[in-house]
Structure 1
Amino acid sequence: MLIIEGIHHVSLNVRDLRRSQDFYERILGLQELPRPAFDFEGAWYAIGTTDQQLHLIVYKGETLRTGEVDTKDGHFALRVSSYENTQKWLDQCGITYTAKPYGKAGFPQIFILDPDQNIIELNAERLEEN
């Protein structure tokens, strides 16, 4: 039997590394990590205060996604501290999103696309009540 300790990293394919780095650093606020000298372009990022990471890999092949956000499609999720502040930040940055404050998941969710159409879920423990 396997004993899973947690997720180490998620890898995403990107086409333009600089464009993706701008998105993940400026919009999501991720901090870049040192990366081994692979024979392909990419970047590694720390996620939160854990040892979890996001790896970007430059890939010139085709992807499956061509349209808008479909919340049933493959994605990864990041927990945010404030749903309301996340919406305000995305609005300020001009990022289009799909908001599901009262979805069936039991916690509020926001779905966005990165520059390469990778779906990212941003969710909070609870919805702030004004």
Structure 2
Amino acid sequence: MKFHFVHTNFNVLDLKRSMDFYEKALGLKEARRIEGNGFTIVYLDDGVTDFQLELTWLHDRAEPYDLGEQEFHLALRVDDFEAAHRLHEEMGCICYENHAMGIYFIQDPDQYWIEVLPARG
């Protein structure tokens, strides 16, 4: 029996704002969408792997989600780490840097953390 990763979910308060952020910050684009009674789910992909980020928007939700102590995160590897860092600095979304490990984190509009890793070398 083998399992493989398919997607991870982030619940969001403003779907368009989140989709705009993920496209600008990480180049993720809409792959498919599900419209339901009171919710919308959009799957974003990177055009390279099969893994997707699922954004779930509950239409009636107004209060921010409790994300605990930010101990969980999504991680992406980038081929041009310096260019990505410059873009994220310009966007003002870098929330933590670990220079010793050579990584940093950005924060999306709903306060989810995304780790940015350099290409393997």
TM bin, normalised by shorter chain, reads: 0.7 to 0.9
Quote the Cα distance in structure 2 between the aligned partners of 1:55 and 1:93: 22
Gaps of 5+ in 2: none
Indicate the RMSD between aligned Cα atoms, in angstroms. Answer: 2.3
Equivalent position amino acid for 1:50 in 2: T
Q: How many aligned residue pairs are there? A: 117
Decide whether the 8 Å contact of 1:66 with 1:117 is kept in 2: no
Q: Give the match for residue 49 of structure 2.
A: 50
* Deviation larger for 108-117 or 91-100: 91-100
Quote the Cα distance in structure 2 between the aligned partners of 1:81 and 1:97: 21
Q: Give the match for residue 117 of structure 1.
A: 111
1:72-111 alignment to 2 at 5 Å? 73-103=71-101, 108-111=102-105
Quote the Cα distance in structure 2 between the aligned partners of 1:100 and 1:37: 39
Equivalent position amino acid for 2:104 in 1: I
Quote the Cα distance in structure 2 between the aligned partners of 1:8 and 1:120: 18
Aligned-residue offset at 1:118: 0.8
Gaps of 5+ in 1: none
Q: Structure 2-normalised TM-score? A: 0.81
Q: Structure 1-normalised TM-score? A: 0.76
Residue among 47, 64, 67 paired with 2:66: 64
Quote the Cα distance in structure 2 between the aligned partners of 1:19 and 1:101: 29
Aligned-residue offset at 1:88: 0.9
Quote the Cα distance in structure 1 between the aligned partners of 2:89 and 2:107: 14
Equivalent position amino acid for 1:45 in 2: L
1:20 has 2:18 as partner:
yes
Quote the Cα distance in structure 1 between the aligned partners of 2:14 and 2:106: 18
Quote the Cα distance in structure 2 between the aligned partners of 1:35 and 1:51: 16
After the TM superposition, which segments of 4 or more aligned residues of structure 1 sit over 6 Å from their partners?
none
Name the one with the larger strand percent: 2
Per-residue CA deviation, residues 25-83 of structure 1 (Å, 9 max, x unaligned), is 1222111112233331232111340111011001426533378xx5xx01111111122
Aligned-residue offset at 1:93: 2.2
